[in-house]
């Protein structure tokens, strides 16, 4: 029971982070049917931007929560602009060419960004300043750290915010319309280029927040941290049904849970294997993922 | 307007590359372009990827040795270095070794991971090139009967003996829990410790394996917390992997004594884990930092940054080879080998004297992290604490 509770807490933390990154994959896929391989690198860039900003502000003596808040906002803004720049320069000129060429340029972009990080930030792990959020409490034998609460809290706020944006606002409606039919939505006066740009920006901002939280949680960031997490988040998006926002959140949570429970009850050596076995199993019976549908009206 | 927008995006992409303010700048000090004459030595170590910090220590140690030895080499010199990257990957290590062979190096210092050293040795031995490893502690490294294989650091069978002795005699532990990350080195060492510990009457409560590069150890630590062992033996491939584990151990409120090994010994451990690294014990070769030979090394190393765990061993390996070449008056493998066996000098890390099988003996002691620094703690030979 103790192990179960503890793993539940850990699983929610991990799953939330996967969900945040998975959303970027799913939204971009929903709107231009592109698997944006560079998304994992945006996540890593966010982690680095966070460490640079937080270290600087902690050194200036600001209180931890101010540092975290300001760093989150600034880094998310930076990542959003970065993703928009990538989209403008690399994906947009190829929009009318075959999907394969865009896919390849996404792979190239991923390598470019990862090596850019390596060259500028060095090959070493970079430490987050300690003492940000320390301590925790125990429920039923399970240790819950305040850091986990902060992470889950931020994740929930971001997910609710995204849901509101997509399903309750005019911009969200325009995004959904563009995802359904680009030509038709353009005919009714929606600027598709702007909407696509915005989708990239939102996905990147979420990944960036995830990057900062992962950095704080594990205490350090490295230039190649986006790769493994990117693969897992992408699997989460596929599991949930790529293109579907609710599906990505659900997929992230499921992958996170499978990982920690497989590690807790079966073997930590093979936790990734179990996550991927479940993925293959689900895709075998539901080829479009858990929430994926063939009709296109829940896509963004 | 459109032009301006494109320009702005371009600027952002460039800024991404330039945002490295405060990034580590101690990188890369390229060796001069190799000349046709002189002695060319190679180094094999992970220069990229997760073990890059340790790999660069080795490269820099060799660079420092070249700087010290170059004036002494006379007509044989100058000595140049060709540094190759293994990424700690067996396949890449073999490719890098083959590249060094085609570059006509006469000796290779490396590699770091035992799992890279063992396969890379095959082509090097066939080409009669010396391989002196400063850091690969797995027993198998010198047990294949290779003629030109040498090792400057200690061996894992000795290291595990020191670890178990400390666990039993000093910590007086009854139970132990082990974790490793499945490399030739880390798992080999953990298996040794497990065997010796159960033979010595300790109860092994569990032995878990994690994956290389994992950062989330919550599952393993939950089990450790429930098992309540007296000692938790952490055998991970480097300090960057151990740091998040220590952070999570502290976060989960696990109070067990932690014993780690030589790969975790690196200043990076305290940089990453900070306060959570305090009180961790680890086994590492004894080095006296007050000797003249260590100070000579530290001087030469100064401009390359802070010496890492195996910098001094890499330095000694390269110095040993160059001393042997100097004595032999040529780089002919047979002559150099004869001279290498005669060597007996005070190196930066320890007294360097190679045995018939290429080993140079182990001198493992227990160190502890205290006030953000590694400190000699307990001597397994005498069973005594080091005096302050």
Query: How much is the pLDDT for B17?
Result: 55
Residue B8 lies in a domain: no
Q: How far is CA B310 from CA B45, B152, B154, B243, B264, in A?
A: 11, 10, 11, 18, 11
Which residues have C-beta within 8 Å of that of residue B290, sequence separation ≥ 6?
none
Dihedrals φ, ψ of B44, to 5°?
-120, 120
A289 SS3 class: coil
Q: What is the dihedral of CA A273, A277, A283, A286, to 10 degrees?
A: -140
Question: Count of domains in chain B?
Answer: 2
Nearest Cβ partner for A120 among B9, B19, B182: B19
Residue B322 lies in a domain: yes
Candidates B208, B210, B219: best to mutate against A (most CBs of A within 10 A) is B219
Q: Does A254 touch chain B (CB under 8 A)?
A: no
**Do B252 and A137 contact (CB within 8 A), yes or no?**
no
Same domain, B103 and B223: no
Same domain, B269 and B180: yes
A263 contacts in B (CB within 8 Å)?
A: 218-220
pLDDT in tens, chain B (388 residues): 566 666 666 666 666 655 544 444 444 444 444 445 789 999 999 988 788 888 999 999 999 999 999 998 888 879 999 999 998 899 999 999 999 999 999 999 988 999 999 999 999 999 999 999 999 999 999 988 899 999 999 999 999 999 999 999 999 999 999 999 998 899 999 999 999 999 999 999 999 999 888 888 988 898 898 899 999 999 998 888 899 999 999 988 899 999 999 999 988 899 899 889 999 999 999 888 889 999 999 999 998 988 888 999 999 999 999 999 999 998 999 999 999 999 999 999 999 999 999 999 898 999 999 999 998 999 998 888 887 6
Same domain, B222 and B141: no
Same domain, B375 and B263: yes
A130 and B19: CB-CB below 8 Å? no
Other CB atoms within 10 A of residue B45 CB:
35
Helix (H) or strand (E) holding A258: helix A245-261
Q: Does B243 touch chain A (CB under 8 A)?
A: yes
Query: How much is the pLDDT for B23?
Result: 42
- Mean model confidence pLDDT for chain A: 90
A135 or A280, greater pLDDT: A280
Residue B273 lies in a domain: yes
Same domain, B224 and B372: yes
Model confidence over B120-163: pLDDT tens digits?
A: 999 999 999 999 999 999 999 998 889 999 999 999 999 999 99
Q: Does B3 touch chain A (CB under 8 A)?
A: no
d(CA B300, CA B323): 17
Same domain, B229 and B318: no
Q: Does A119 touch chain B (CB under 8 A)?
A: yes
d(CA B15, CA B379): 52
Same domain, B278 and B197: yes
Q: Does B143 touch chain A (CB under 8 A)?
A: no
Same domain, B139 and B166: no
Copy the structure tokens of residue B22: 């405060």
The arithmetic mean of pLDDT across residues A173-200, rounded, is 92
d(CA A136, CA B13): 40
Same domain, B320 and B260: no
- A 120-149 residues with CB below 8 A of B? 120-127, 130-131, 136, 138, 143, 145, 147
Helix (H) or strand (E) holding A126: strand A126-127
Candidates B4, B25, B251: best to mutate against A (most CBs of A within 10 A) is B251
Query: How much is the pLDDT for B1?
Result: 58
Query: How much is the pLDDT for B238?
Result: 87
Judged by average pLDDT, the poorest of A50-54, A164-168, A272-276 is: A272-276
Residue B13 CA from chain centroid, whole number: 37
What confidence category does residue A299 fall into, taking pLDDT thresholds of 50, 70 and 90? low
Containing structural domain, residue B44: 39-154+289-362
Residue B71 lies in a domain: yes
Closest residue in chain A to residue B216, using alpha carbons only: A218
Helix (H) or strand (E) holding A136: strand A136-139
Query: How much is the pLDDT for A283?
Result: 86
Task: Give strand pairing partners of B151.
Answer: B133
Q: Does B1 touch chain A (CB under 8 A)?
A: no
Model confidence over B195-218: pLDDT tens digits?
A: 999 999 999 999 999 988 888 898
Residue B20 lies in a domain: no
Predicted TM-score of the model (pTM)? 0.84
What ipTM does the predicted assembly reach?
Answer: 0.82
Three-state DSSP string of chain B: CHHHHHHHHHHHHHHHHHCCCCCCCCCCCCCCCCCCCCEEEEEEECCCCCCHHHHHHHHHHHHHHHHHHHHHCHHHCCEEEEEEECCCCHHHHHHHHHHHHHCCCCEEEECCCHHHHHHHHHHHHHCCCEEEECCCCCHHHHCCCCCCEEECCCCHHHHHHHHHHHHHHHCCCCEEEEEECCCHHHHHHHHHHHHHHHHCCCEEEEEEECCCCCCCCHHHHHHHHHHCCCEEEEECCCHHHHHHHHHHHHHCCCCCEEEECHHHCCCHHHHHHHHHHCCCEEEEECCCCCCHHHHHHHHHHHHHCCCCCCHHHHHHHHHHHHHHHHHHCCCCHHHHHHHHHHCCEECCCCEECCCCCCCCCCCEEEEEEECCEEEEEEECCCCEECCC
* Residue A196 in this model has a pLDDT that exceeds 50: yes
Residue B280 sits in a domain whose CATH number is 3.40.50.2300
Same domain, B106 and B207: no
Residue B24 lies in a domain: no
Query: How much is the pLDDT for B226?
Result: 87
Same domain, B146 and B70: yes
Task: Give strand pairing partners of A79.
Answer: none
Expressed in angstroms, the distance from the first to the final Cα of chain B is 70
Would you give the DSSP letter of residue A128? P
Residue B179 lies in a domain: yes
Domain boundaries, chain A: 2-230
Residue B3 lies in a domain: no
**In terms of Cα–Cα distance, which of A261, A262, A204 is closest to A233?**
A204
Helices (H), A33-63: 39-60
Query: How much is the pLDDT for B34?
Result: 45
Same domain, B163 and B280: yes
Residues of chain A above pLDDT 90, percent: 59
């Amino acid at each position: 029971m103790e192990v179960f509770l503890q793993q539940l807490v850990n699983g929610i933390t991990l799953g939330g982070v996967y969900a945040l990154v998975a959303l970027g994959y799913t939204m971009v896929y929903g709107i231009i049917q592109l698997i944006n391989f560079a998304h994992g690198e945006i996540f890593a860039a966010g982690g680095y931007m966070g460490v640079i900003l937080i270290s600087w502000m902690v050194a200036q003596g600001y209180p931890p929560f101010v540092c975290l808040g300001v760093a989150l906002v600034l880094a998310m803004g930076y990542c959003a602009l970065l993703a928009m720049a990538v989209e403008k320069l690399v994906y947009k000129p190829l929009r009318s060419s075959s999907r394969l060429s865009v896919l390849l340029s996404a792979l190239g972009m991923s390598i470019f960004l990862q090596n850019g990080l390596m060259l500028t930030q060095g090959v070493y792990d970079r430490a987050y300043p300690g003492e940000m959020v320390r301590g925790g409490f125990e429920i039923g034998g399970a240790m819950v750290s305040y850091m986990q609460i902060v992470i889950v809290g931020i994740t929930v706020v971001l997910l609710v915010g995204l849901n509101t944006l997509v399903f309750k606002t005019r911009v969200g409606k325009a995004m959904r319309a563009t995802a359904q039919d680009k030509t038709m939505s353009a005919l009714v006066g929606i600027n598709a280029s702007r909407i696509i740009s915005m989708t990239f920006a939102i996905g990147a901002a979420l990944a960036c927040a995830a990057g900062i939280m992962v950095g704080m949680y594990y205490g350090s960031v490295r230039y190649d941290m986006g790769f493994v997490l990117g693969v897992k988040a992408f699997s989460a998006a596929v599991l949930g049904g790529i293109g579907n926002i609710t599906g990505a959140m659900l997929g992230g949570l499921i992958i996170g849970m499978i990982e920690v429970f497989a590690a807790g009850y079966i073997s930590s050596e093979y936790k990734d294997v179990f996550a991927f076995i479940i993925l293959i199993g689900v895709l075998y019976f539901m080829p479009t993922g858990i929430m994926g549908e063939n009709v296109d009206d829940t896509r963004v | 307007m459109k032009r301006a927008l494109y320009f702005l995006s371009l600027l952002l992409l460039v800024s991404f590359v330039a945002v490295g303010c405060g990034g580590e700048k101690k990188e890369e000090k390229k060796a001069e372009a190799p000349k046709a004459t002189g002695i060319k030595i190679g180094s094999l170590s992970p220069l990229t990827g997760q073990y890059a910090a340790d790999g660069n220590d080795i490269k820099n140690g060799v660079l420092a040795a070249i700087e010290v030895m170059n004036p002494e080499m006379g007509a044989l010199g100058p000595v140049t270095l060709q540094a190759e990257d293994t990424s700690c990957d067996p396949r890449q290590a073999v490719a890098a070794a083959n590249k060094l062979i085609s570059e006509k190096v006469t000796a290779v210092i490396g590699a770091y991971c035992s799992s890279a050293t063992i396969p890379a040795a095959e082509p090097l031995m066939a080409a009669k090139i010396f391989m002196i490893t400063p850091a690969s502690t797995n027993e198998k490294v010198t047990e294949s009967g290779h003629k030109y294989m040498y090792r400057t650091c200690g061996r894992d069978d000795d290291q595990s003996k020191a670890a178990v002795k400390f666990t039993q005699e000093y910590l007086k532990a009854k139970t132990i829990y082990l974790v490793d990350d499945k490399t030739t080195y880390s798992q080999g060492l953990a298996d040794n410790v497990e065997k010796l510990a159960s033979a010595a009457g300790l109860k092994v409560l569990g032995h878990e394996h994690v994956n290389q590069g994992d950062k989330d150890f919550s599952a393993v630590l939950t089990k450790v917390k429930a098992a309540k062992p007296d000692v938790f033996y952490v055998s991970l491939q480097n300090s960057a992997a151990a740091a998040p584990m220590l952070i999570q151990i502290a976060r989960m409120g696990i109070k067990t004594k932690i014993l780690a090994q030589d790969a975790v010994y690196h200043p990076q451990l305290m940089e990453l884990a900070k306060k959570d690294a305090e009180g961790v014990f680890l086994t590492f070769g004894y080095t006296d930092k007050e000797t003249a030979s260590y100070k000579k090394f530290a001087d030469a190393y100064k401009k390359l940054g802070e010496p890492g765990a195996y910098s001094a061993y890499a330095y000694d390996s390269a110095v040993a080879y160059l001393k042997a070449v100097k004595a032999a008056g040529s780089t002919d493998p047979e002559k150099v080998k004869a001279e290498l066996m005669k060597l007996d000098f005070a190196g930066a890390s320890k007294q360097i004297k190679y045995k018939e099988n290429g080993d140079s003996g182990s001198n493992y002691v227990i160190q502890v992290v205290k006030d953000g620094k590694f400190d000699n703690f307990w001597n397994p030979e005498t069973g005594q604490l080091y005096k302050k």
